[in-house]
Structure 1
Amino acid sequence: MITLAKKLKRNGDPSETPERPPTLFSFRDRLLPGQVAELTPEVLPSTAQVSFPHPDSLHKFHVYIRPTEGYWRGGRFEFEVSVPEDYNMSPPKVRCKTIVWHPNIRYRSGSVCLSLLRKSALDDGMGWTPTRSLKDIVLGLDGLFGDLVNFDDPLNLDAAQEFRLNSELFQRKAWDHVRKYAM
């Protein structure tokens, strides 16, 4: 029978173990203040705004996008951003909290399809890399309502197909969703 004393003797006394090295979590916490400081109105487009509901918690924040042109103009779209412990090796998780008819945002669940949010393969040149920052996320979300909308790589297949088959119907539906959920 193994006793605690024998186990400690075999494994060594835990109080004698060397201090643990800094974790990835602490690295994230060292990076975030500098990256958050970049999220100023002078740097971000006028259509994007960032809010920190809990100022002591920089790893969870909200991004608000207000497109001034295109299918979603006049709407206010809220995104929730959660920065994982292994940031900057992994991208933040982003979810759209506003219901929107958009090919790159899953209807109702709010999952977002944006290439820079994908874990990157070293050879594909796309997706997340450790050199990206929170500013890139905000700029990417803003671009989803402009030049980065991608009907060829949809998350909402119905919206993309509707655009291909009947762009006027897509436009009406997008605008109806803006009026109903984003104003």
Structure 2
Amino acid sequence: MTGGEQVPFSRVATSGIEILQCVVIRGFAAQAVVIQVQTLRFSIFFKVQEMEQTLPSTCQIVFDDPNRLHEFTLVVVPDEGYWVGGRFHFGIYVTEDYNMAPPQVKCQTKLWHPNISEDGDVCLSLLRQSSIDGLGWAPTRKLKDVVWGVNSLFTDLLNFDDPLNREAAELFLVDKESFRHKVKEYVTQYAKR
């Protein structure tokens, strides 16, 4: 590359993909070399596409900022069970440690649920780095697994044996009708569509 000069790399972010550009000038025909770098954002781009293609019919994904694919809201609208008629928002944040660590999930809608605290903490095995039942997070898990897991908290994944909201679990065990009534009160007050 005698007499050639390299212009330093510049970074350009487009649609969640980071691209490095390098232009070689003087002594060569102007040429551009575009190198795609697989970063967390690049990986997330494909995980988000896959997640959106396999969404349960009761779920919707909302991106407040389409350039921040690692932060989004999952909206769950149960069509059966105790929470039918509600619209529940979960903030999902994919950390830099993803795939080695699970995304962070927080319920943004106040509700009465044995596995979700009134502060929004979510008790779901696959969101734990390690869990007693062996179903915790693993690098092979995907964002779609998180979506399906959160959705299942409103149908078949209720866990009354290891609840986050003990009061809700105890009420369910001693008086299912009072539990149903309290759930409906919360849905009406905080989660109406």
Same structural fold, with TM-score higher than 0.5 when normalized by the shorter chain: yes
Q: Calculate the TM-score normalised by the size of structure 2.
A: 0.77
Q: Which residue of 2 aligns with 1:100?
A: 111
Distance 1:72 1:100 in 2: 9
Q: Which residue of 2 aligns with 1:149?
A: 158
2:120 alignment partner, SS class: coil
Preserved contact between residue 70 and residue 95 of structure 2 (Cα < 8 Å): yes
Preserved contact between residue 125 and residue 133 of structure 2 (Cα < 8 Å): no
Distance 1:144 1:77 in 2: 11
Distance 2:164 2:140 in 1: 26
The CA deviation at 1:124 is 5.7
Q: Calculate the TM-score normalised by the size of structure 1.
A: 0.81
Which residue identity is paired with 2:134? G
Distance 2:42 2:159 in 1: 34
Distance verdict in 2 for CA 1:30–1:124, change over 3 Å: farther
More contact order relative to length (CA 8 Å, sep ≥ 6): 1
The CA deviation at 1:126 is 1.5
- Deviation per CA, 1:46-82: give whole Å up to 9, x if none: 1011111110011110000000110000100000001
Aligned equivalent of 1:159, options 143, 168, 171: 168
Q: Which residue of 1 aligns with 2:122?
A: 112
Which residue identity is paired with 1:135? K
Which residue identity is paired with 2:44? L
The CA deviation at 1:44 is 1.1
Distance 2:112 2:81 in 1: 13
Which residue identity is paired with 2:106? R
2:51 alignment partner, SS class: coil
Which residue identity is paired with 1:118? R
Q: Which residue of 1 aligns with 2:97?
A: 86
Unmatched 5+ stretches in structure 2: 1-37
Distance 2:150 2:163 in 1: 15
Matched, 1:35 2:35: no
Preserved contact between residue 102 and residue 137 of structure 2 (Cα < 8 Å): yes
The CA deviation at 1:125 is 2.7
Matched, 1:173 2:185: no
Q: Greater strand share, 1 or 2?
A: 2
Distance verdict in 2 for CA 1:159–1:39, change over 3 Å: same
- Deviation per CA, 1:86-115: give whole Å up to 9, x if none: 1110000100000000000011x1000001
2:115 alignment partner, SS class: coil
The CA deviation at 1:39 is 2.5
Preserved contact between residue 88 and residue 108 of structure 2 (Cα < 8 Å): yes
Distance verdict in 2 for CA 1:124–1:110, change over 3 Å: closer
Q: Which residue of 1 aligns with 2:16?
A: none
Distance 2:80 2:133 in 1: 32
Which residue identity is paired with 1:114? L
RMSD: 1.5
